[in-house]
Structure formats: C-alpha cells, structure tokens
Structure 1
Amino acid sequence: MVINPNSSDCVTEAIDREVEPFRRYGDFTIDVCGTPGAPPGVSYQTDADVIGPMVQATMAREKASAYIIACFSDPGLLGAREKFDDAIVIGCGENAIFQAMTDGDQFGIISLSIFSTRRQRRKVRMMGVAGRYVGSRGIDSNAVEATSPELLDRMVRAGRELVDLGADIVVTGCASMSHFREPLEDRLSIPVIDPVGSAVSAAIGRCILKRRHGRASAS
C-alpha cells in the first residue's frame, strides 16, 4: 500500500502512474491511496504533524504486507513502525537518503521550498548522515505544481547547484517529482533517485525476503 499523505487527487494519480511499471514484476498487488481531509500538501511542519495520525489511521484501515509513506517528510513513520510492527513500513524520504549513500558519495536534495529545505536538513541531522549531505536547493513550488513537467528547468537549475556543491547523486525531495527522474539524469549526467520508486523497490525486496524467511522457518 502506497499512501499519499496529502489530499490532492492529482498527486495521488501521479504517484499511481509512477508505480505502474513495478506492477509488472512478481505477484505483488500495489495499491495507491490518498488521504481525504488532509492538507493538500506538506508545506509546513505543522502539516506533517497533522497528517501523521491520519496516515496511521489509513494503515489501520487498509491491511497490507508493506506500507510506503509517499512523502519525503515521512509523516507518522516512527509511530507507525511501533504500531504496525508486524508489517514493513518504509518512509520514502528516509529510504531515498539511505539509497543515495549506497549509490554515491555525497548527495543533495531538490526541495520544493525553503520550508521543505529546513525539514530536510533536520531529517539529515536526525539520521546522523550530515557528513555526506551537500545541502538542499528549492524550486519555489508545491506538491501539486510539481506534477507539471513545466518545472523541469527549475529542477535542472537546482540540480546543477547541488552538483557544483559536490553532489555526485541527487534525490528528488517530493513524491510529486518522480516523473522528473529520467530527464534530470539526462541533463545532469549523474544518478537521480526518485523516492517513490526507490521505496517501492525496497518494499518488494523486503517482502520477498520475508516470504523466504517464513518458508525457511516453517520447514
């Protein structure tokens, strides 16, 4: 279950399009849902604070082997892991940062705004990986606007600033930015991580491992 923590239908639809290729592999059903009643985007920390319990309520209602919180701020992630400890719970922001450190030496994040940048700095510090982080650069946008391909030039400018700071891998810092991954890689000539795709890949892999471990224990 891929949960869009905001209430924007266009963002939920964009996430659903991005996960479609993963439905061709294996026998896993991948569902995507939004969060009616939530703010239209996570613009401020207060939005993330409000959305966290709503994400956990969705998880309680929608039973799944794995849950992906499809927002870079990962609202409700830590509490959800405590509450649903029998399921795989992945925050796409946390997971993307870990992948960036696996695939590259120094990473940068393209953020939506200055407020997103501040949350990302805090996340990086809390994860203890600030030594590998060159910074975040915003594009002065929001989650709904980021579904538009018209923002590509802004994304490229932000990515080039990160490369100039020493990044050899870039993370797109919003689930709405998934569709920019390929054109950004072409224009920046370095790897670009889409947090949603990365999280879905991780969830599938962990489900396979869990299934294999379950069979081994049963035997």
Structure 2
Amino acid sequence: MERRILVINPNKDAACTAGIAAAVAPYAKPGYARFDTVQLKDGPDAIASWRDWYSVALPLCDVVQAEPADAYVIACVSDPGVEAVREITDRPVLGPFRASVLAALARTDRFGVIAFVDASKERQRRVLLSLGVESRLSGSEALNLPMAALTDPEAPRTALMKAGRKLVEAGSRAVVLGCTGMASHRGYLEEELGVPVIEPCAAVAAQALLTVS
C-alpha cells in the first residue's frame, strides 16, 4: 500500500507552497510513498513572529485530524505546532529544522543557520536546546527579507551569499537554510560557499521516508 506523507505549509504564500512541493517531489517513491503538499488557507503570510508561530498550532491540528496520512511534515523551519500536533495523532510528526540540524551534524560538528528574520533565531535556539546541540551552532544570520523576495529565483542571492560567507568565516562547516522559502537556492549557495548547504524540505522528506518504511 502506498504511504501518504502530508506536508503542511503553515503560511498562505502560494509561491512558498509550490517551492516546498518541488523540493520534496524527488523523494517520492511511486507505489511506496507519496508527498501531498497543502497550505493553511487562513495562515499568516509567513511565520515571522511568535504570534504567527503560536497562531498556527490549532489550525495545524485541525488539518491533521481531517487529513489521514502515514506521517506529517510541518513545513516551516521554526517547527511551529509540532508538539501540539503530536498530541492528537499517533503518526510521526516532523519538523524541518530538527531534520536539518540532524543532517548538518551528520556532515560536521559545527554548523550555521541562515534565518528568515531575527525573530526566528530564538525559536530555532529553543529547538537546539531541546536537542542538546546549541553548542554546535557557530552562528545565525538573518536575511530579514519578505517571503516574496525569498521565493524569487534571483532577488535574495546577494543577501544569501553575504550571510553564508559570514557563517563560513565564523567556523561553520555546513549551512542550514532557515526557511522553506529558500529551497530553490541550495545548489547555487553550496557551489559558491564550498560547504554543504542543508535544505530543510529535502532533509525532512528523507526523514519522513524512514518513518513510514
């Protein structure tokens, strides 16, 4: 029986949702596991503040209760609502930031994060503390760009390069992209920086496949 992995974008940005779907698509295994990507139609434009982060927890629970699946991915790199959703399902519930950190640590002891906005840093720090790996973070650089700029094929590249170079100079031997809106820029950034760049959608898709095997 083909397994269903439901990927939920907690914001309502259509371009971001399309980028997430494209990033997880290569991991689908027809006949074994498929990825269905949806978004919260009444979600915020982006998960930029703590208010945004908390506001999506109950809507995410509603989607999971209405949409049977073998595993769920909360497709935001602040991992909002993961704990709440785990309370209402016995299926695996995965967060891209957790998956990305584990993927980075499989490559190196020291990694950096390119955050969406400055407010993202504290939310991500809490995840690192929960995993016991905060000391492995060599730095976090926020882009502070709107989601529409991140999903543009060219617009954010200068800012991404500047942030990535600062992280490498600070000792990062891998760089985690701290927003699913950055998905399409992984290859370019990795080639320019010369260190592994971890794309969260890919990292969590690979982990999701393991949970349904």
In which range does the TM-score fall when normalised by the shorter chain?
Answer: over 0.9
Identity %: 32
Q: CA deviation at 1:125?
A: 2.6
Paired residue for 2:140, among 136, 139, 149?
A: 136
**Is residue 65–residue 88 contact of structure 2 (8 Å, CA) maintained in 1?**
no
The match for 1:215 is none
**Is residue 143–residue 174 contact of structure 1 (8 Å, CA) maintained in 2?**
no
Paired residue for 2:39, among 2, 27, 34?
A: 34
* TM-score, normalisation: structure 2: 0.92
Q: Which runs of 5 or more structure 1 residues have no equivalent in the other structure?
A: 209-219
The match for 1:202 is 207
> Does residue 5 of structure 1 match 2:10?
yes
Q: CA deviation at 1:24?
A: 4.9
The SS at the match of 1:144 is helix
CA offsets, 1:56-77, max 9 Å, x none?
Answer: 1111111100101100111110
Moved more, 45-54 or 20-29: 20-29
Q: CA deviation at 1:188?
A: 0.4
Moved more, 17-26 or 43-52: 17-26
Q: CA deviation at 1:26?
A: 5.7
Q: Distance in 1 between matches of 2:151 and 2:183?
A: 8
Moved more, 185-194 or 110-119: 110-119
Corresponding letter in the other structure for 1:186: E
Which one has a larger percent strand, Structure 1 or Structure 2?
2
Which one has a larger percent helix, Structure 1 or Structure 2?
1
> Does residue 94 of structure 1 match 2:95?
no
Moved more, 19-28 or 67-76: 19-28
Q: Distance in 1 between matches of 2:175 and 2:131?
A: 17
RMSD over aligned CA atoms reads 1.4
Q: CA deviation at 1:199?
A: 0.4
The match for 1:167 is 172
The SS at the match of 1:104 is coil
Q: CA deviation at 1:127?
A: 2.7
Q: Distance in 1 between matches of 2:25 and 2:128?
A: 30
State the number of aligned residues: 207
> Does residue 117 of structure 1 match 2:121?
yes
Corresponding letter in the other structure for 1:123: V
